[in-house]
Structure 1
Amino acid sequence: MDVLPGRDAEPLAAWLKGHPEVEIICRDRAGAYAEGARGGAPQAVQVADAWHLWRNLGDAVEKTVSAHHACARTAFENTVPAAPPTSDDIWLTPPAPAAAVLDVCGRERRLVIRTRERYTAVRQLLDDGSTLEEICRTLQLDRSTVRRFARATSLDELLVKATNRSTILDEYMPHLHQRWNEGCHNSAQLYQEIVALGFAGSVQTVRRYLRPFKTATTAPPARRPAPRPRRIVRWIMTDPGNLTADDAADLKEIRTSCPELDTVTHHVRDFAAMMRDLRDDQLPAWMERVIADDLPALHSLVNGMKRDLDAVTAGLSTPWSSGQVEGHVTRVKLLKRKGYGRANLDLLRRRILLRT
């Protein structure tokens, strides 16, 4: 075991040239590692680690779910009232999915405005030829923020995360709706009731939420909040046999409302079967099926696999894994953080290699 300076191809290639006995190189799919392995150990077989392949697939699924999250929101939030209103009642119409960008007063949410302004500014600077570092300095934003805006395929992809945040009032909405329909229209009293149930917010939060109800004698049914994109991704990436009955039912509802997410789920489960059974012979047909569908994020994944096809094929046909190395990586990160910024490479290398 050794610790190399940096993540570039050159240090890896130089180290491998001094170790001609290397026969197997199990790695993630970073291009620098592939190049370094080819240059330093052409005799070795490169194997794409299965966990990293699964992680790459998960990232592509998350982008797809974010792009089609409106379908899930429509399926969950378009609640039909249990009974039709009488002539004396005025029902509030549950907001359409697009209304998620508005606050309770009907104004565009500040977070939505800020996201749109940042996306426009980042895209404009990128079109002008600015680098990410220059954009960070110009807009005074963190590099990870700028990178997220730069990699987004559309504004809608960013707004999904900006508009799908849960609130501290979510779990108390059914109680507020029920009590309002029972005739209690006193915001202060309703606030005290949900405080007794565990609500930790302010009375102003309750008043803002109830303000639209003032124009109706009956509150609308409490809407089911749509699950966050990452939760949907977790449902898709989980073995169907390990899903709870409620999660399986919710995923089925989402798949029914969105053909793209239904197709993604089929692709994920086919890929999982390939990994489990080490059936690399099914990979070409799987990639062809993915390319045939309108799923840009998965297309990018497949194109990357084609550039690294030998290693990916080996990862789906051999038992080699970098799991033990990942355990050491976790330990290395702990040792590095314990250095409080004083762990230069020489000291850090000694602590990693000599620690029992």
Structure 2
Amino acid sequence: MDTGRPVDLLPDRHGDTFAAWLRAHPGAQVICRGRASGYAEGTRLGAPDAIQVADRFHLLQNLTKAVDRVVRAHRACLKDRPEAEAVAQPRPSTEGEPGHRAEVTRQRHAEIHALHATGVGATAISRALNLDGKTVRRYLRAATADELLTETVPRPKDLDEHTAYLVFRWEQGCTNAVRLTTELRDRGYRGSARTVRRLLQTWRDGTVKPTAVTAVAPKPRQVTGWIIRPGRRPY
């Protein structure tokens, strides 16, 4: 355990085999072992004065199972948060709206179609307007801006667990997509940096505001992960 290197390899997991090895190599004071009963019995027979301790993996495994049992016993506490308290990315309205979002959408639609009418391709438009290529193609497919305003756009599922944290950091003044993606990686995010950048862009240009919506109650497994993993805070 001090060097992290193996000293020998036993032919099986039987207690008698382990006991014989310990007798042939006397002097062990601490036996760090797994949970197999053969190791416990072998230690008792071959090195009765040694202290038996669990290895790091099984300690963490035991702790995780214990925490999971506690969380599941209190799963009734994991309720959906009321709309007034939850923070996440709202879905666009299913009706045309006269506010700022509608104005931005119509202006962007006009710009994209004007450039496309002069022969500019979708890739060049996305670079010129600093937009994602998929966004440009979606606008080009829409004959009018009203088609976009009545469209239901799905939220990026990879970000669902982390959207509240993004809002928290955004309100702190951190709007850098690269930095925020790095922070999300530390929190377990496995999606793409482009998804984070696309979401932040909607907040930056006012297309969507990080306003309150109903949040889904976390699953017991998620809460267990928040408790077990170091440095994770469920904002």
CA radius of gyration, larger in: 2
Q: Same fold (TM over 0.5)?
A: no
The TM tier, using the shorter chain, reads 0.3 to 0.5
Whichever structure has more helix as a proportion of its residues is 1
Q: With structure 1 as the length reference, what TM-score do the two structures score?
A: 0.29
